[in-house]
Amino acid sequence: MVDISRGSALGTSGASELFQLLRDGRPRTRAELATVTGLARSTIATRVDSLMALGLVSPVGDALSTGGRPPSRFALNPSARVVLAADLGASHATLAVTDLSGTVLGELREAIDIASGPEAVLSWMVEAATTLLARIDRDHDELVAIGIGVPGPVEHSTGRPVNPPIMPGWDRFDVPGWVQQHLQVPVLVDNDVNIMALGERAFAWPNAEHLMFVKIATGIGSGVISSGRLQRGAQGIAGDIGHVQVARGVGIPCHCGNRGCLEALASGPAIARDLRKAGIDVATGSDVVDLVKRGNIEAIQAVRQAGRDIGEVLTTAVSLINPSVIAIGGSMARAGEHLIAGVREIVYTRSMPLATEHLAIVQSSAAENAAVLGASMLAIHHALSPEGIDALATPAR
Amino acid sequence: MVDISRGSALGTSGASELFQLLRDGRPRTRAELATVTGLARSTIATRVDSLMALGLVSPVGDALSTGGRPPSRFALNPSARVVLAADLGASHATLAVTDLSGTVLGELREAIDIASGPEAVLSWMVEAATTLLARIDRDHDELVAIGIGVPGPVEHSTGRPVNPPIMPGWDRFDVPGWVQQHLQVPVLVDNDVNIMALGERAFAWPNAEHLMFVKIATGIGSGVISSGRLQRGAQGIAGDIGHVQVARGVGIPCHCGNRGCLEALASGPAIARDLRKAGIDVATGSDVVDLVKRGNIEAIQAVRQAGRDIGEVLTTAVSLINPSVIAIGGSMARAGEHLIAGVREIVYTRSMPLATEHLAIVQSSAAENAAVLGASMLAIHHALSPEGIDALATPAR
């Protein structure tokens, strides 16, 4: 069994930077890697040697190199190994096998019921992974890590969901331990919004050190990347902005037991509820998006107001975190510019000019692929970290 | 000239963890250091060797070690070198020389006028540093780094203040370059609230990975430590919460040009202004604190209300950052429990229970020493980082 409990929780930012650098496929010298990561040259040399011994990094021909000297430039060999990425939602799951650059080699999407409990869902996942690996003609031995996103809070250091409201039976369930009975590789688990932030960054903003991903769907949450690292906070719930109170919310009850929460005003169900009160026939957030797309003025106004409410909370986030990118995703983001316009209206009105001068507030580019891409990143980051590489070099399987 | 532009901006969290570990003075083995930092053993070995060669780390006698083997346990030798720490305020400065554990060896406090410009203030600082070193009988050669806090935003990677409102003449001034003409060591500059966060953590919460320091004085700002690192954000203004709008602020003009900002309601001058409107004779925030200490009920109520306004903004911070500690400092914090009670009242009412279950909201313990201690930490962190040690090993003086 591979012990993943430490590495995933600790700061291995140097290793992550090394990986970020190599992930683009450009060959680099040891000296370049040392300069850009700020790691000691001896550290770089050791890391590159380990990666080469495992076939993860290959020397790249250099016409100027002489006789006995070691090859001077290296590039990631992304096809050397694969990772499994799973986005487990409330009612559907996406599973992908990607190479070490995050390129999807095979993918499947299926209806599941997260409420059927961890053993049912994870059994399906393990079987589907086998199917998927066979379909793309890769062996189980080539799998180096698994990243899983789930729709609830997760204690990241152990991979156990903690009091997840819509995941009955999953509370404190040892997801990595269970999966490792079938697939003996490190298993990283995180909540869906956190992995969406990782996926969005990898897909669209690889150089953004400070990025916030806001998911607006049945619930509202965010994933925060600061100084290039996903921030989880003391209890693992950093970014949980759905229950911040907003001005317009006075008195409106929220399912959390409090009143006036952002989620009680600006989530898909909340917008649908307000439109129903105005006599418009909508059942879900998805119906609202459809109405917006057909140009229904009430639906457009409601979505824009939701954007303003979200902007109220994001204004504080802009002051506190000072991100360069806020990406808006989740099913309600399909309402497009109307939602974003509301967010921008408030953030730009209320924030200090210096904080918004270079701030991009945009619709998610990775969109529905953000989560599975982020799960892949989570797995790759670990596989290429010092302890991931140690584990590969001395398999305890 | 020592190039400090890279290391200070980059993630050297492994190195910082190594330093954090050694700072307590406890001897540790290489294996222990590797386990706790998550750094590769080869990295630890290299780092420890460099530190030993410089006399910064010493082997500690181990009765069990045998013949030719290298000594197995190491401890920081805090008195090996010293750093200079400067807290430059609007109207006064504190200067200290500390050892490598942050223990103050000598200190002086003097009235200055930050508006007299960088050359006047920094000339004073350089002269005072010489006086201070002589007083404690340490040589210039023993000085390894300088940390400086200033009352305005700083581009941390270059150490240049950026549009600092109360520091005329300092905009984009090359503070490290100027100081290094006189003292040829790395110079780290940051804004005062950021270094107060570092100082508070070092003094009172060395194990807190997620800590927020809120300064309430003439202005309101905060320093945010997440995942053990000071977070500066994309423009270096992370934590700048003074101009977030609060509910009670509707229409109240702020000196920033906007309306309803937290600073326009809850800063020392704002509380004094409101009390004057109620017919109470106070000129400054300091007068308000004096009234509170004398039990004046109007002053107590005003301070408590300011605490509630601050709590409104901190509630969002609790959701976003999920800290384990919020320390309240700055001159208004001397009003004590009345201010903190207002903050707690709102944060505990409005936050999700999981976020506040283990959250401490407390008065700053480091108090007026927070800034100078933080400046010392900034300097020590750099001196003991890989590039700091490289610079010491191959001086370009």
Strands B73-76 and B28-29: antiparallel
* Cβ(A213)–Cβ(A330) below 8 Å: no
* Cβ(A321)–Cβ(B231) below 8 Å: yes
pLDDT greater at residue B63 or residue A236? A236
Exposure string of A111-123, with b = 16+ CB inside 10 Å and e = fewer, is ebebeeebeebbe
Kindly report the nearest CA distance between residue B320 and chain A, in angstroms.
4
Q: Is B235's CB within 8 Å of A40's CB?
A: no
| Structural domains present in chain B | 13-79 (1.10.10.10), 80-197+371-393 (3.30.420.40), 206-365 (3.30.420.40)
* Cβ(A393)–Cβ(A98) below 8 Å: no
B66 C-beta neighbours (distance < 10 Å), count: 7
B166 C-beta neighbours (distance < 10 Å), count: 15
> What pLDDT score was predicted for residue A6?
29
Q: Tokens in use for B8?
A: 């200070």
> What pLDDT score was predicted for residue B223?
98
Kindly report the nearest CA distance between residue B104 and chain A, in angstroms.
30
pLDDT < 50 stretches in chain A: 1-14, 63, 65, 396-397
Q: Mean of the pLDDT values across residues B146-156?
A: 92
* Cβ(A7)–Cβ(A388) below 8 Å: yes
Q: Is B47's CB within 8 Å of A40's CB?
A: yes
Q: How many CA atoms lie within 13 A of A304 on its CB side?
A: 12
Q: Which residue has the tokens 């996942």?
A: A125
Of all residues in chain B, what percent carry a pLDDT higher than 70?
Answer: 91
The packing angle between helices B370-383 and B386-393, to 10°, is: 70
> What pLDDT score was predicted for residue A168?
94
The model's confidence at residue B166, banded by pLDDT at 50, 70 and 90, is confident
What is chain A's mean pLDDT, rounded?
88
Q: Is A350's CB within 8 Å of B320's CB?
A: no
* B215 backbone φψ class: left, alpha, beta (φ>0; ψ -120 to 50): beta
To the nearest 10°, the Cα dihedral for A295, A297, A300, A305?
A: 170
Q: Which of the residues B214, B316, B361, B385 would you substitute to probe the A interface, choosing the one with the greatest number of A C-beta atoms within 10 Å?
A: B316
> What pLDDT score was predicted for residue A20?
63
In the predicted structure, residue B13 carries a pLDDT above the cut 60: no
Of all residues in chain B, what percent carry a pLDDT higher than 90?
Answer: 68
As a whole number of angstroms, the distance between CA A363 and CA B285 comes to 44
As a whole number of angstroms, the distance between CA A3 and CA B65 comes to 30
> What pLDDT score was predicted for residue B17?
62
**Closest Cβ opposite residue B234 in set A233, A240, A324:** A324
As a whole number of angstroms, the distance between CA A46 and CA B68 comes to 25
As a whole number of angstroms, the distance between CA A309 and CA A351 comes to 15
Residues in chain B within 8 Å Cβ distance of A47: 40
What's A62's DSSP letter? -
Q: Is B355's CB within 8 Å of A236's CB?
A: no
Residue whose C-alpha is closest to residue B373's, from B365, B362, B363: B365
Task: Describe the strand order of the beta sheet including A57-60 as a list of residue ranges.
Answer: A28-29, A73-76, A57-60
**Closest Cβ opposite residue A235 in set B38, B315, B355:** B355
Q: Which of the residues B49, B252, B256, B319 would you substitute to probe the A interface, choosing the one with the greatest number of A C-beta atoms within 10 Å?
A: B319
Cβ partners under 8 Å of residue B227, min gap 6: A11, A226, A227, A229, A231, A232, B13, B209, B210
Give the bridge partners for A326, in sequence order: A212, A361
> What pLDDT score was predicted for residue B68?
58
**Closest Cβ opposite residue B316 in set A43, A244, A247:** A244
* Cβ(B220)–Cβ(B310) below 8 Å: yes
In the predicted structure, residue B92 carries a pLDDT above the cut 80: yes
Q: Tokens in use for A331?
A: 């099913």
Residues in chain B within 8 Å Cβ distance of A355: 235, 237, 240
- What totals of helices (H) and strands (E) does chain A contain, helices first? 14, 15
* Cβ(B342)–Cβ(B311) below 8 Å: yes
Residues in chain B within 8 Å Cβ distance of A211: none
* Cβ(A266)–Cβ(A306) below 8 Å: yes
ipTM score for this prediction: 0.86
Residue whose C-alpha is closest to residue A6's, from B58, B38, B133, B50: B38
Q: Is B238's CB within 8 Å of A14's CB?
A: no
Q: Mean of the pLDDT values across residues B189-211?
A: 95
Kindly report the nearest CA distance between residue A252 and chain B, in angstroms.
14
What's B150's DSSP letter? E
What's B70's DSSP letter? P
What is chain B's mean pLDDT, rounded?
88
User: DSSP string of A360-373?
Assistant: EEEE-SSGGGHHHH
> What pLDDT score was predicted for residue A64?
53
Q: Tokens in use for A223?
A: 């994933």
As a whole number of angstroms, the distance between CA A339 and CA A259 comes to 23
Q: Mean of the pLDDT values across residues B219-247?
A: 94
> What pLDDT score was predicted for residue A4?
32
As a whole number of angstroms, the distance between CA A295 and CA A65 comes to 64
Look at chain A and count its residues: 397
Closest chain B CA to residue A15: B39
As a whole number of angstroms, the distance between CA A307 and CA B273 comes to 35
> What pLDDT score was predicted for residue B66?
53
As a whole number of angstroms, the distance between CA B162 and CA B303 comes to 32
In tens, the pLDDT along B315-361 reads 999 999 999 999 999 999 999 899 999 999 999 999 988 899 899 99
Give the bridge partners for B97, in sequence order: B84, B106
Helix or strand or coil: residue B182?
A: coil
Residue whose C-alpha is closest to residue B200's, from B51, B323, B307, B26: B323
> What pLDDT score was predicted for residue B10?
28
> What pLDDT score was predicted for residue B11?
33
Spacing of C-alpha A158 from chain mean position: 18
**Closest Cβ opposite residue A38 in set B7, B316, B355:** B7
Contacts 24+ apart (CB under 8 A), B333-338: B333/B216, B333/B363, B333/B364, B333/B367, B334/B289, B335/B288, B335/B289, B335/B292, B335/B293, B335/B303, B336/B292, B336/B363, B337/B363, B338/B292, B338/B300, B338/B303, B338/B304, B338/B307
Residues in chain A within 8 Å Cβ distance of B7: 38
